[in-house]
């Protein structure tokens, strides 16, 4: 018997992501899923045995505060997400990115006033979730008959721009096209989004091709799995002997005793182990056949994916037994994109490994294999989903190249141009080497090897959100902490965690500041207060009211008080003496000495400390007058001088 197993059978990216997420959190305690995480009873029952319970819309969310709830791959209405937040429930969103994309489309278009048409099963949880993101009641069409009824009840010529059409991700692609054609005959220029998952289209096409060439067809999947039901419908149309099973237990092997060719496919929520059980049962060979195959080995061809076992590892090379007449070789460059890595630290003898055949003979009789190309092909589905949904990815920078960064994401290489690395120009990108960075994909074309990432967009969005949060909570007079970002001749810019504030030179001290760079350096943490907010500009100050040196000045600087200060600056008519930072007093040239002094610099220099008496104080004008002469003994007047004075 010849058994043909569909290459696309089993978990799709979205389902695998949801299942992996659920199993990652089984040990956390108080973990739930919203609805069955996928439509497969085997997986759901296994999670339940591990303590993960499924909830539905009737659950009392108020009693789940502090719990974790994993959102199913099908998603849910917006009101459910709001309930999680309202009841302080940590929601781990495992919604398929392709489904999430539909939520975003219908939410935006319905908010903009468009009528939404959803092509899919109205009772399916994915469709129920999509409906819950529409801002007005949508039209749901599940069949050709529904489409005909809808078209018959609308007036020809209605402005089609007011309608948007989306589809359940697992809907039959041909049927979707037929329904759209019916609607377009009445609604011109209607906006159609082709939201059927690419994996679904590939799976359905492959099922149709296999079913048309075999004597019997087996479709494996959960009883409630919509995409499996559609695979069954497609296969049944091509092959009358099509069987829908959930596990091997449902399969009667005697039915296939006289069958020469059997095809097998499986829905997107079918675990690999169930597919392997069915496949193994259908593909059993006699002992003689197995022995014969073992002696003759297998045949391979370029581009084929094969399973092997590691039999030797060197720092730059891996030898693999692939059950062929020659062993296979994986070079370092074909194992990973990380340069200079020691393969002995990553792989050990005995490890199973899936590889791709690059050359069946390298000239020395060995088979050249690639591990990273298999990994890259697997990750391409994830990258495509991330590109469609705008998901934020994290990768490690492995190379600094001309014009940007090469980032490794699960053995796939993403290029981030220098202009998209940051929101500011960075001449030297070396600091990013070996760093994990976040990015979004702005271009995905693996055939042309163009997978382009954008980090700048995330930074801009994060800063905008941080600025929004900052301005929502700050007000004039509030004390705030920040980090010095830049220092100029006129002031310092302080990063407040969302926006920059300017600490002007005039607000750095109650006293005179000659050079801000002598007071601050980049990285200093500063406590200041907000003096003013004007649009997106924030003015800061260090001149706190309780440190104002003029507080109680009338007592501290009363006339007759003897004070000490430093010469701060000089003019032709006198010197200004700093008593404390922010309080200057004038020492008039006539009050320096009983002797004639032409200019202050004839007696003092900047920085000299002097003692003087306060001879005048005008608090409303903040003016203080000093006299050194008042502390000096009055010189005796000679008789000659007195006579001259009298004359």
Residue 559 shares a structural domain with residue 527? no
Looking at the structure, tell me whether residues 102 and 91 fall in a common domain: no
Structure tokens at 554: 């009338």
Same domain as 581, residue 602: yes
Residue 554 pLDDT level (bands cut at 50, 70, 90):
confident
Residue bearing tokens 């992996």 = 20
- Give the chain's mean pLDDT: 86
What would the pLDDT profile of 204-225 be if each residue is shown by its tens digit? 889 999 999 999 999 998 888 8
Residue 5 within any structural domain of the chain: no
Question: Mean per-residue pLDDT for 443-470?
Answer: 89
- Residues of the chain above pLDDT 70, percent: 94
582-637 residue pLDDT tens: 889 999 999 999 989 999 998 999 999 999 999 999 988 889 999 999 999 888 76
Dist CA 165 CA 167 (whole Å): 7
Please state, in angstroms and as integers, the Cα–Cα distance from residue 524 to each residue in 40, 399, 443, 498, 503, following that order: 57, 32, 40, 17, 13
- Range of weakest confidence among 95-109, 150-164, 366-380: 150-164
**Are residues 543 and 563 part of one domain?**
no
As a whole number of angstroms, the distance between CA 384 and CA 389 comes to 9
Mean pLDDT value of segment 22-30: 81
| The pLDDT value given to residue 638 | 59
Residue 468 lies in a domain: no
Looking at the fold, whether 532 and 559 belong to one and the same domain comes out as no
- Residue 2 annotated in active site: no
- Strands 450-454 and 436-445 turn out to be antiparallel
Helix (H) / strand (E) containing 152? helix 144-152
> Which residue range is the domain that position 406 belongs to?
375-460
Catalytic entry in 41, 85, 90, 126: 126
Contacts of residue 152, defined as CB under 8 A and 6 or more positions apart, other chains included, come to: none
Report the chain's terminal Cα–Cα distance, integer Å.
145
> Does 467 fall in a domain?
no
Among 532, 547, 562, identify where a domain stops: 547
Confidence of residue 296 (pLDDT cuts 50, 70, 90): very low
**Where do the H-state alpha helices sit in 440-552?**
456-473
pLDDT of 490: 92
Q: Are 31 and 25 in contact (CB under 8 A)?
A: yes
> What is the structure's pLDDT at 609?
93
Residue 363, C-beta contacts closer than 8 angstroms, at least 6 positions apart: none
What's the pLDDT band for 284 if we cut at 50, 70, 90?
low
CATH number at residue 281: 3.40.1010.20
Is 370 part of any domain? no
DSSP code for 463:
H
pLDDT digits (tens, 9 = 90+) for 346-367: 999 999 999 988 887 766 667 8
Over residues 160-203, the pLDDT tens digits come to 568 999 999 888 888 999 999 998 888 877 899 989 887 788 88
Same domain as 264, residue 203: yes
Quick one: pLDDT at residue 271?
86
- The CATH number of the domain holding residue 427 is 2.40.50.140
- Element at 20 (helix H, strand E): helix 13-24
Same domain, 456 and 497: no
Percentage with pLDDT > 90 across the chain: 43
Residues 256 and 320 in one domain: no
> For residue 155, is it within any domain?
yes
Q: How far is CA 101 from CA 21, 108, 194, 531, in A?
A: 19, 11, 11, 44
Between CA 190 and CA 55, with CA 127 as vertex, the angle to 5 degrees is: 160
Helical segments of 25-143, H only: 41-49, 78-86, 97-111, 125-131
pLDDT (tens digit, 9 = 90+) per residue, 231-244?
999 999 999 999 99
pLDDT > 90? residue 103: yes
Same-domain check for residues 108 and 133: yes
Whether residues 54 and 122 share a domain: the answer is no
- Res 55: pLDDT: 81
392: in domain: yes
Q: What pLDDT is recorded for position 293?
A: 46
Q: How many helices (H) and strands (E) does the chain have?
A: 15, 32
Instruction: Look at the chain and report how many structural domains it folds into.
Output: 7
- pLDDT of 291 strictly over 70: no
Domain match, 383 and 439 both: yes
One domain, residues 17 and 90: yes
């Amino acid at each position: 018997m010849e058994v043909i197993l569909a290459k696309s059978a089993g978990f799709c990216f979205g389902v695998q992501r949801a299942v992996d997420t659920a199993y990652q959190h089984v040990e956390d305690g108080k973990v739930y899923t919203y609805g069955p995480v996928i439509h497969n009873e085997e997986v759901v029952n296994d999670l339940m045995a591990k303590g993960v319970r499924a909830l539905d819309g009737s659950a009392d969310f108020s009693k789940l505060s502090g719990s974790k709830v994993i959102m199913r791959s099908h998603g849910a209405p917006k009101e459910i997400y709001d309930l999680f937040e309202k009841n302080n429930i940590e929601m781990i969103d495992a919604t398929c990115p392709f489904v999430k994309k539909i939520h975003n489309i219908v939410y935006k278009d319905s908010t903009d006033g468009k009528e939404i048409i959803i092509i899919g099963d109205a009772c399916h949880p994915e469709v129920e979730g999509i409906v819950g993101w529409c801002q007005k009641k949508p039209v749901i069409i599940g069949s050709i008959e529904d489409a005909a009824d809808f078209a018959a009840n609308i007036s020809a010529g209605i402005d089609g721009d007011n309608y948007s059409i989306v589809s359940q991700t697992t809907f039959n692609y041909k049927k979707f096209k037929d329904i759209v054609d019916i609607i377009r005959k009445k609604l011109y220029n209607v906006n159609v989004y082709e939201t059927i998952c690419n994996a679904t289209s590939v799976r359905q096409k492959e099922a149709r091709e296999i079913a048309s060439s075999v004597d019997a067809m087996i479709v494996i999947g959960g009883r409630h799995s919509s995409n499996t039901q559609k695979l069954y419908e497609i296969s049944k149309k091509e092959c009358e002997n099509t069987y829908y099973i959930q596990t091997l237990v449902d399969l009667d092997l005697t039915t296939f005793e006289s069958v020469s060719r059997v095809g097998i496919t499986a829905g997107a929520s079918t675990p690999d182990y169930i597919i392997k059980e069915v496949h193994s049962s259908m593909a059993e060979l006699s002992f003689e056949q197995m022995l014969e195959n073992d002696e003759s080995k297998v045949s391979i061809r370029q581009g084929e994916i094969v399973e092997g076992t590691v039999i030797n590892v060197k720092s730059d090379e891996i030898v693999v037994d692939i059950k062929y007449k020659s062993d296979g070789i994986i070079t370092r460059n074909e194992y990973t994109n990380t340069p200079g890595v020691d393969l002995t630290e990553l792989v050990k003898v005995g490890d199973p490994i899936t590889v791709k055949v690059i050359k069946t003979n390298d000239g020395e009789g060995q088979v050249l294999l690639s591990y990273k190309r298999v990994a890259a092909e697997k990750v391409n589905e994830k990258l495509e989903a991330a590109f469609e949904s705008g998901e934020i990815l994290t990768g490690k920078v492995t190379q600094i190249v001309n014009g940007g960064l090469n980032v490794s994401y699960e053995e796939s290489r993403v290029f981030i141009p220098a202009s998209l690395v940051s929101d500011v120009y960075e001449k030297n990108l070396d600091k990013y080497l070996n760093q994990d960075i976040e990015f979004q994909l702005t271009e995905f074309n693996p055939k042309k090897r163009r997978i382009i990432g954008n980090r700048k967009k995330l930074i801009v969005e994060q800063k905008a959100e941080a600025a929004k949060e900052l301005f929502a909570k700050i007000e004039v007079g509030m004390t705030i902490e920040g980090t010095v970002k830049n220092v100029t001749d006129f002031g310092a810019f302080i990063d407040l965690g969302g926006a920059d504030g300017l600490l002007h030179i005039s607000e750095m001290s109650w006293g005179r500041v000659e050079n801000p760079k002598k007071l601050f350096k980049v990285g200093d943490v500063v406590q200041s207060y907000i003096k003013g907010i004007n649009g997106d500009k924030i003015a800061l100050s260090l001149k706190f009211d309780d440190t104002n040196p003029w507080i109680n000045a009338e007592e501290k600087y009363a006339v007759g008080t003897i004070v000490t200060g430093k010469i701060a600056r000089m003019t032709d008519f006198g010197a200004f003496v700093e008593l404390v930072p922010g309080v200057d007093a004038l020492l008039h040239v006539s009050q320096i000495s009983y002797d004639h002094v032409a200019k202050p610099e004839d007696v003092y220099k900047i920085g000299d400390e002097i003692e003087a008496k306060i001879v005048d104080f005008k608090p409303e004008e903040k003016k203080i007058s000093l006299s050194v002469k008042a502390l000096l003994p009055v010189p005796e007047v000679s008789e000659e001088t007195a006579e001259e004075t009298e004359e």
